[in-house]
Amino acid sequence: MRRWSITAFVLLALAAHTSQLPGQPTTERVGVSSVSEAGLRSAIVALLPQATVRASAAGVLVEGRFPQMQRDTLWLNTSKTGMVPVPVRYVDSLWTRERSFLRGALIGGAVGGVVVSGFFLFLVKGLCESVKGCSDDYPLAIGYGVVIGGGSGALIGTGIGGLVRRWQRRYP
């Protein structure tokens, strides 16, 4: 019963969004243009099966898994109501839930490189026993710190980023 009520709500909201009085000329185009519709279709084609998708259509937000698309309808399998049809021409925005591998690797690599380089510089300065100083060793310490710390931090950051999920906008 609940599934049908939410499906009916979505369809009524879409119908109310496009309604006009009979005999009045349409002054604005309802839905999306053919250029942006092509962009939306390419975004939908790029979706992986069973991807978690959030679609906004005519002011109604629908979130669920993407099992299929038939003709001009995007079907989303929601946890509460089951399969919900979303007409493609009314979709305002499309989001997918993604893991943050790359972001984690970049942040981890940057933090690891800075921390380990700083540690190596501290070691060079603290362990220097030369009368002339160890200024020739600083670039080497920074280089090793960036390579070792950056690589290790990137690996750890990739693992942590794989645990984090965030919404990624696919359209528009």
172: preceding bond cis by omega (within 30 degrees): yes
Digitized pLDDT (tens) for each residue of the chain, 172 residues in all: 444 444 444 443 444 444 443 433 333 334 445 556 677 777 776 677 777 888 777 777 777 887 777 777 777 878 787 888 777 777 788 888 888 899 999 999 999 999 999 999 999 988 888 767 777 888 999 999 999 999 999 999 999 999 988 888 877 7
What total of structural domains would you count in the chain? 2
Which domain-ending residue is among 97, 114, 130?
97
Same domain, yes or no, for 11 and 73? Answer: yes
Query: Which residues neighbour 59 within 8 Å (Cβ) at sequence distance 6 or greater?
Result: 13, 17, 92
Residues 7, 147: Cα–Cα separation, whole Å: 55
Which domain-ending residue is among 35, 63, 97?
97
What's the whole-model pTM score?
0.60
The whole domain housing 11 covers 2-97
